[in-house]
Amino acid sequence: MLNWLSEYRRQFLPSISKRAIFRHYIPASGAVSHSLFTAHLFTPIIISRFFPVYDMALSNVVLFNSHLGIGFFVFFRPHLYHLNAWNRVEYSVFASVVFNFGSILLTILLKSFLPKREPILRLNSAGRSIAAVCLSIFMMRSGYKYIKHIDSRTKHLKDFNFEHAGAPT
C-alpha cells in the first residue's frame, strides 16, 4: 500500500526541478486555471465577491495562465519532438488559443441554455460552478485523449528528454 502511495505521489507531484516545473507544474496550474475561468464564465459574481476592485484583471490573469499551461503541455508532447523550437512554440500557441477560446465559446453557448429566472429550476452559484468545473474537466479530458492519440502514432526516440536546442526541420 505504501509503495502504491509513493508511486502515486511521485507521478502527480514530482520532485521540484526546472524540467518538472515546465513539464508538470505549469500545465497543472493551467488546468486549474481553465477550470476556474470556466467557473467564472458560468458565475461571474464569484470573483467580484472576493476581489471587487481587480475582478477583470484577475480573470484575465487566470485566462493567461490557462493559455500558458495548455501551451506548455502541448510544447512537450512527443509528436512535436522532431520540430525545431520555434515551430513547437508556434504550434503550442496555436493549440492553446484554439483550445481555450473554443472552450470559452462552448461555455458561453451552454450557459445560455441554463435557466435564469424560474425558481424551481434555477441553479445557484455553487451548482453553476460545479457544472462549469465538470464541463472544464470534460473538455480537458477530451483534449488529452486526442493528444495521446496523436502521440501514439508518433515514433518515439530513445533520448526523449527535450533537452536539445532544436532539430532541423
What pLDDT does residue 158 have?
Answer: 53
Question: Residue 169: which pLDDT band, with cuts at 50, 70 and 90?
Answer: very low
Q: Could you report the per-residue pLDDT of 85-130, keeping only the tens digit for each?
A: 999 999 999 999 999 999 999 999 998 887 775 554 456 778 888 9
Q: How confident is the model at residue 12 (pLDDT cuts 50, 70, 90)?
A: low
Tell which residue, 102, 34, 116, 107, has the closest CA to residue 73.
34
DSSP string, 13-41: SPPP-HHHIIIIIHHHHHHHHHHHHHHHH
What's the pLDDT tens digit per position in 22-81?
Answer: 888 999 999 999 999 999 998 888 888 878 788 888 899 999 999 999 999 999 998 988
Q: What is the pTM of this model?
A: 0.80
Is the per-residue pLDDT at 168 higher than 60? no
Quote the DSSP letter at residue 157: P
Region 138-153: mean pLDDT is 94
Give percent of the chain above pLDDT 90. 47
- Report the candidate in 143, 121, 144, 124 with the shortest Cα–Cα distance to residue 132: 124
Q: Give the pLDDT confidence score for residue 167 in this predicted structure.
A: 45
Q: How far apart are CA 65 and CA 23, in angstroms?
A: 15
